[in-house]
A and B are shown apart, each in its own frame.
Chain A
Amino acid sequence: NAGVTQTPKFQVLKTGQSMTLQCAQDMNHNSMYWYRQDPGMGLRLIYYSASEGTTDKGEVPNGYNVSRLNKREFSLRLESAAPSQTSVYFCASNGQDWQPQHFGDGTRLSIL
């Protein structure tokens, strides 16, 4: 069972470059989420999507954009990467808000 798949697993960028992190789930879940986790810190919600076609800001949305392409896919874009965005990014999904979230194995992003 694939569950939640994130690509790429690792990426190094230079300041000012742009890139898109991809996330896909095969569990027919309605809601999808993007988090970042800095070393030694907790998860912080960047954006979420309660259903196809809708997106909402989380706790730390500045510097990011998202697209809920269809029910399966939810991408996160960094338009102009900054060193402060160096982090591990996790995508998650669940069927309903009250259900547990399932996580992908993360993208480790370094910005020089």
Chain B
Amino acid sequence: RKEVEQDPGPFNVPEGATVAFNCTYSNSASQSFFWYRQDCRKEPKLLMSVYSSGNEDGRFTAQLNRASQYISLLIRDSKLSDSATYLCVVTGTNAGKSTFGDGTTLTVKP
């Protein structure tokens, strides 16, 4: 079993839709959690951190459920520019290094 697992998708949604991604992690001792965005053939960029209380940044909401060991990302009112691959990242495992999920691909269509 991978340390961090994501549904690879692809998720194809119309503009304006709400879409949610989940990510599960196996190490209960994990310390911190992030969502990254990666555009085709570009570097991953930090989208947002994920806190136990949940956090929101505009149209994006991230949540952490430590008991069930998963994190989620909700995107409301999808835009064409949201089309990308979203990577779930967990740290505090594996000698302190970050573990990246393989990503979930989102395509937002007109």
Contact = CB atoms under 8 A, between A and B. Distances in A.
Contacts of B42: 105-106
Nearest to B43: A103
B42 to A, nearest CB: 7
A42 B49 contact: no
Nearest to B89: A100
B44 interface: yes
Interface stretch (B13-21, B57-65, B74-82, B90-98): B90-98
Nearest to A48: B97
Interface residues of A, number: 23
B25 interface: no
Given A97-B91, A98-B91, A43 B100 contact: yes
B45 interface: yes
Interface of A: 33, 41-43, 45, 48, 50, 56, 58, 88, 90, 94, 97-106, 108
